[in-house]
Amino acid sequence: MYTLRVYALCIVAFMDNTQTLLGILGTGPSYGYDVKRSYDRYFGSKKPMAFGQVYATLARLLRDGLIAMLGEETGSGPDRKRYEITEVGRKRVSEWMFTPDVPEAQLQSNLFAKTVIALLLEDDAEGLLDIQRGEHMARLRELTSAKRGANVMEVLMCDHAMFHIEADLRWIDLTAARLTELRAQVTGA
Amino acid sequence: MEMDMSLGCNSSGVPLLSCRNLRVSFGVTEALRGVDVDIYPGEVLAVMGPSGSGKSTLLHALAGVVKLDTGTVTYNGSDVTALSEAERSALRLSAFGFVFQFGQLLPDLSAVDNVSLPLLLAGIPRRRALQQAKSWLDRLGLAGFGDKLPGEMSGGQAQRVAIARALVNAPKILFADEPTGSLDSLAAENVMLTLTDLARATGTTVVIITHDPRTAAHADREIIVRDGLVTSGSVAFSQASDVPQ
């Protein structure tokens, strides 16, 4: 059985960390430390996100109005800032989740993050996988069409791209088939 | 995310084959649980989905082969579900062609005899039927294979004979159930190129059941069947007006 940890070991290198952190904040207001802990739990089992990167990303999100600060508490420890996602931020997360990526190698890392965030937000994870499948099929049709009348070298180049897309599609189908299992693991249900 | 589950493509076009609220059960198992699909003249549609999702049942329901619990199938404006069994058989013989995963050629008949069968069943004189069958074998790159038995041909060749047999009586719709399922990648590609080239040249509408994305990529669009429902699919096919009628 593939566990979340195994997925994460394989595919976190090409994720959009900014959108992923924003998506985590979409589950509810949180301190920076807790955002990092959630990220590490879902995506960082091999390579936890550095505190510096977390706070730099949160500062950027704050500057862009995608999150807001709920108040700064004085007291012990450096981490007394609590953040919540804004409406603009929620819209950004939704756009990110439901905008298919251009089919290319390592795509599934970002798609994996979108799927997990959608499950955390109780959004339509199956729907975003369907949208990505459609994007992949469109690219596969383009390449199939490009092969007609092409010379053998061009055909082989198309074949190479097509087999990679096919591998992505298999991953998408398997993930769709395992969504219930993944949902249970991600949400702890 | 809301989407139009009828998955119609060109709103200005009139579907050649449609179904609404299709439900089919086998015992206590619901194979189709309320399916709406529109298929337009001249398009090549791929029906994808996991094993056991109901995609083959959908093909059989659209072709009038299985009994529906509820729902309607409309072909060329006529309600197929209202026809008698004999009328449906006549419709299948005259307007529909079929290709299956393993060709399902009659093993004791030569290639040319296999291809001529639908014509003989339709009452075409034997000599003319054989001439037409031979001509179709030629179009499929099987000149010289007419006298061979199915067992003497490769999988890809046998599948091309099956395509010739399905197209010989000029069907309006060709139903293909996993037509490349038993072939290697290269043979599968050649079969799909042949099938779609001929279909587009003759304006034949094609419905392909497949779980293979590379096979589905030869189609104009695809729909996904999951747990007896059409759950998603591409709605493109904007060139409907350019399709040979």
Asked whether residue B186 is assigned to any structural domain, the reply reads yes
Q: Give, as one character, the DSSP assignment of residue A101.
A: P
Q: What is the pLDDT of residue A2?
A: 39
CA A68 to chain centre: 22
Chain B interface, best mutation among A114, A137, A147, by max B CB count within 10 A: A137
* Chain B residue closest in CA terms to A127: B1
How many Å is the Cα radius of gyration of chain A?
19
Q: What is the pLDDT of residue B234?
A: 55
Q: Which two tokens stand for residue B224?
A: 């996904």
Please say if the pLDDT value at position B8 is more than 90: no
Q: Provide the β-strand partners of residue B30.
A: B25
* pLDDT-based confidence at residue B186 (cuts at 50, 70, 90): confident
Interface of B with A in 96-135 (CB under 8 A): none
Asked whether residue B116 is assigned to any structural domain, the reply reads no
ipTM for this model: 0.74
CATH number of the domain residue A170 falls in: 1.10.10.10
* Chain B residue closest in CA terms to A97: B1
User: Is the minimum CB–CB distance between A148 and chain B shorter than 8 Å?
Assistant: yes
User: Is the minimum CB–CB distance between B188 and chain A shorter than 8 Å?
Assistant: no
Q: What is the pLDDT of residue A12?
A: 44
User: Is the minimum CB–CB distance between B43 and chain A shorter than 8 Å?
Assistant: no
* Chain A residue closest in CA terms to B236: A138
Comparing CB atoms, the residue among A131, A148, A169 nearest residue B213 is A169
Please say if the pLDDT value at position A15 is more than 90: no
**Distance in Å, alpha carbon of A45 to nearest chain B alpha carbon:** 31
How many Å apart are CA B17 and CA B38, to the nearest integer?
Answer: 6
Q: What is the pLDDT of residue A79?
A: 62
Look up the domain containing A15 and give its range. Answer: 4-187
Q: Which two tokens stand for residue B221?
A: 């669009």
Which DSSP string corresponds to A49-61? Answer: PPHHHHHHHHHHH
User: Is the minimum CB–CB distance between A156 and chain B shorter than 8 Å?
Assistant: no
Q: What is the pLDDT of residue B239?
A: 32
CB contact under 8 A, B218 and A144: yes
Say which residue, B220 or A80, is predicted with more confidence: B220
Spatial neighbors of A98 by CB under 8 A, at least 6 apart, are A127, A128, A131, B1
User: Is the minimum CB–CB distance between A95 and chain B shorter than 8 Å?
Assistant: no
Q: What is the pLDDT of residue B108?
A: 93
Digit-coded pLDDT (tens) for B89-101: 888 888 999 888 7
* pLDDT-based confidence at residue B16 (cuts at 50, 70, 90): very high
**Distance in Å, alpha carbon of B230 to nearest chain A alpha carbon:** 12
Look up the domain containing B88 and give its range. Answer: 17-104+171-239
Digit-coded pLDDT (tens) for B18-39: 999 999 999 989 999 999 999 9
Digit-coded pLDDT (tens) for A76-101: 555 678 999 999 999 999 999 999 88
CB contact under 8 A, B217 and A177: no
CB contact under 8 A, A137 and B232: no
Q: Token pair 């093909």 is at which residue?
A: B59
How many Å apart are CA A145 and CA A181, to the nearest integer?
Answer: 37
Q: What is the pLDDT of residue A26?
A: 95
Q: What is the pLDDT of residue B103?
A: 66
Most confident of the ranges B85-89, B130-134, B199-203: B130-134
Please say if the pLDDT value at position B41 is more than 80: yes
Among candidates B207, B144, B143, B205, which has minimal Cα distance to B179? B207
CATH number of the domain residue B188 falls in: 3.40.50.300
What is the domain count for chain A? 1
3-state secondary structure of B75: strand
**Distance in Å, alpha carbon of A184 to nearest chain B alpha carbon:** 20
* pLDDT-based confidence at residue B5 (cuts at 50, 70, 90): very low
What is the domain count for chain B? 1
CB contact under 8 A, A137 and B224: no
**% of residues, chain B, pLDDT over 90:** 56
* Chain A residue closest in CA terms to B190: A148
CB contact under 8 A, B50 and A127: no
CB contact under 8 A, A134 and B233: yes
Residues of A in contact with B50 (CB under 8 A): 173, 177
Q: Which amino acid is at B41?
A: P
Q: Do the bridges between strand B70-75 and strand B78-79 make them parallel or antiparallel, or are there none, so unpaired? A: antiparallel
How many Å apart are CA A60 and CA A51, to the nearest integer?
Answer: 14
Asked whether residue B44 is assigned to any structural domain, the reply reads yes
Neighbours of B10 (CB within 10 A): 18
How many Å apart are CA A143 and CA B219, to the nearest integer?
Answer: 12
CB contact under 8 A, B232 and A166: no
Say which residue, A180 or A71, is predicted with more confidence: A180
